[in-house]
Amino acid sequence: MLSIQQMQYILTLSEEQQFQKASEKCFVTQPTLSMQIKKAEDMLGQFVFDRNTNPISLTAFGKKLLPIIREILNENEKIKWLSEKQSGSFSEEIKVGIIPTVSSYLIPKMFGIWKNALENVTLSIEEMKSEEILEAFDKKELDVAIMAGPHYDPKLRTIPLFSEEILVYCPSSNTPTIQLEDLHQLHPWLLSKGNCLRTQMIHFCQLNASNQPDEWNYQGGNLELLIEMVNKNGGYTLIPENYSLQNGKEHLKHVKSAAGIPGREIIALYPSRTIKQEKTEQLIREVQLAYLQQREVTSINVLNWR
């Protein structure tokens, strides 16, 4: 039977893909890590890692073993959680992943609310792109995420938080609304690849992603910088209605389209099986209360982020 320590070593090496980095992360020497993994493989009668690849990779057996190891380590954490809670020394940590185009307005609004509402909880919040969030759930590195929907995964619970209209920032237009066809004559300023709002913009504005010029490829999801590019160079960009625009609110336009009002649904995801369900759901409820729906959801044409 593998020890908890050996399983942790296997998990860490699978993530780092180098013995030196994995040993540093586990706070042991490289020979110690190598010896323990070799003992684990001898016990299993199978190689877990292919040492002939660079970087080190999992064997076919290792790929099947890893989800089981993650599940066992997760169950072990539940035992530790129960023990600490019973002894009164318990302080729960909730790891939150959130996409940049939501965190820019949601975190300043929600941080103080969460801090007052969630007792004995430490929040660890990280900006992540949508695909990074889903990968983090696979590795059991997140407790809850806030991102654009839709998304379905039988291993995750999906909770709608709110929907929001997507507006066009376009100073060259003098009307409060703009026709979708008019945007085809203007230069689109996009977020970098991996940001879901970029993909939604490509879908709705009927842009050809493969033909987009690389004259501006901002890495990081900073909407304020795109707004500045529009101000100085013309064109347009898309802005979620809840984004806190400091200047130029008069340049935000509603889009007229036969497809309806462009928008996105913001959802929360968390594991179906979690010991942190009570506090996680409380965190989610606070967001729902803070962003009570201002319109009928049916009036929004939810854009796909993939």
- Look up the CATH number of the domain holding residue 102: 3.40.190.10
Q: Domain boundary residue among 87, 110, 129? A: 87
- Residue 85 pLDDT: 64
Using CA atoms, how far residue 72 sits from 47, 76, 217, 241, 256, in Å, is 20, 6, 42, 43, 52
- Residue 285 pLDDT: 95
| HEC secondary structure over 186-210 | CCECCCCCCCHHHHHHHHHCCCCHH
- Residue 159 pLDDT: 94
Residue 277: count other Cβ atoms within 10 Å of its Cβ: 14
Q: Per-residue pLDDT tens for 45-102?
A: 999 999 999 899 999 999 999 889 888 887 787 777 677 666 655 567 899 999 999 9
* 179 shares a domain with 155: no
Give the residue ranges of the chain where pLDDT is below 50.
210-211, 213, 216-220
Q: Is residue 305 situated within a structural domain?
A: no
- Residue 211 pLDDT: 46
* 30 shares a domain with 18: yes
Q: Which amino acid is at 180?
A: L
Q: Per-residue pLDDT tens for 271-291?
A: 887 878 888 999 999 999 999
Q: Is residue 240 situated within a structural domain?
A: yes
- Residue ranges making up the domain that contains 178: 165-262
- Residue 220 pLDDT: 45
pTM of the model: 0.71
* 254 shares a domain with 174: yes
Q: If we measure between CA atoms, which residue out of 6, 4, 60 comes closest to residue 33?
A: 6
- Residue 298 pLDDT: 54
Q: Domain boundary residue among 64, 87, 110? A: 87
- Residue 173 pLDDT: 87
* 148 shares a domain with 107: yes
Peptide bond into 31 cis (omega under 30): no
